[in-house]
Amino acid sequence: MNLSLPKKDPSELMLYLWKIQDLPKISEKELLYLISFELFLVSPQKALQLIQNCLKNNILIKHPDDTLSLNKDLETTLTRWQQERKKQIVKREQLKAQKKTTLTKYQKQPTSDFNVLLKAFLDKGTINRAVAVSEDAFDIQTLDFGGGVLIAKVKGSKTEPYHIEINTKEKILAHDCHDFVSRRSKNKQFCKHLARLFLLLKEKDSEGTIEMLNEIAESVSKWNFGA
């Protein structure tokens, strides 16, 4: 979430301050202290002037107990921001738990057929980077283990998703992330996206996934790894 300091718009500044102090109401003294002595934005005199201007323009509302709150529109915006932030925190925690579970499963069976095959295409750190890729990042469009065809997209650092295509008959493994194109493909190795993809495929169909990995491993020198 964006918490950069807005310097010109008083409404945005007050919204920013409420995001930080995380209380529905605050006294004028507490707000002044926050502005001047915790965040060091302006002098106490200017902070007081800012608060008074915000009250005058109905950006802030003064209550009978002398506490201040945001106006209704800003309160609504703040609530939406808090809800979105909560979703992001929950998602981040779920991803951490998912990462731990996936890594634990992988490490528990170091000599399984799947792990031995997958390790042949990975360097030391790839598996740790792979489990950090969210399952939700993948859009598997075609998956035909019998025909040896897989087509998928995966969200990455760019706006457009990366593409993945595997065809065991044509011996093609195509993927367009920078790490794979510039480094991994030359050594017939997987990047984090491909490693994570095969971890996900194993959950769907362990036998089919192992067979596909075998197809690649048995004649890897004849395979075309590239974009």
For every residue of the chain, DSSP letters joined together read: ---PPP-S-HHHHHHHHHHHH--S-EEHHHHHHIIIIIS--S-HHHHHHHHHHHHHTTSEEE-TTSEEEE-HHHHHHHHHHHHHHHHHHHHHHHHHHHHHHHHHHHHH-TTSHHHHHHHTT--TTHHHHHTTS-GGGEEEEEEETTTTEEEEEE--SSSSPEEEEEETTTTEEEE--HHIIIIIGGGT---HHHHHHHHHHHHH-HHHHHHHHHHHHHTGGG-EEE-
- Which domain, by its residues, includes 135? 111-226
Query: Tokens 């192992």 belong to which residue?
Result: 210
Whether residue 142 is found in the same domain as residue 155 = yes
- Measured CA distances, 135 to 14, 146, 153, 200, 207 (Å): 38, 23, 12, 7, 20
Same domain, 40 and 117: no
Per-residue pLDDT of the chain (227 residues; tens, 9 = 90+): 445 556 679 999 999 999 998 899 999 999 999 999 999 999 999 999 999 999 999 999 999 999 999 999 999 999 999 999 888 888 877 777 766 776 666 666 655 688 889 888 998 788 888 888 888 899 999 999 999 999 999 998 778 899 999 999 999 999 999 999 999 999 999 999 999 999 999 988 989 999 999 999 999 999 999 88
DSSP 149: E
Helix (H) or strand (E) holding 190: none
Q: Are residues 4 and 27 in the same domain?
A: yes
Q: Which of 57, 87, 108 is the last residue of a domain?
A: 108
Question: Do 101 and 117 belong to one domain?
Answer: no
Same domain, 141 and 211: yes
pLDDT at position 124 is 78
Choose the final residue of a domain: 108, 140, 164.
Answer: 108
pLDDT of residue 15: 94
Look at the chain and report how many structural domains it folds into: 2
pLDDT on residue 216: 93
Single out the residue of 183, 188, 176 nearest to residue 218, CA to CA: 188
What pLDDT is stored for residue 134 in this prediction?
Answer: 85
- The whole-number pLDDT of residue 159 equals 82
Q: Indicate whether 99 and 129 sit together in one domain.
A: no
Per-residue confidence (pLDDT) for residue 106, from 0 to 100? 66
Q: What is the pLDDT of residue 1?
A: 45
Residue 49: half-sphere exposure toward Cβ, Cα within 13 Å = 6
Same domain, residue pair 131 and 216: yes
Residue 28 belongs to domain with CATH number: 1.10.10
Question: Is 202 in contact with 143 (CB distance < 8 Å)?
Answer: no
Q: In what order do the strands lie in the sheet with 162-167?
A: 138-144, 149-154, 162-167, 172-175, 224-226
pTM of the model: 0.56
Pick from 108, 132, 160: which residue ends a domain?
Answer: 108
| 89, 153: one domain | no
Q: For position 109, what pLDDT does the model report?
A: 62
213/127 same-domain check: yes
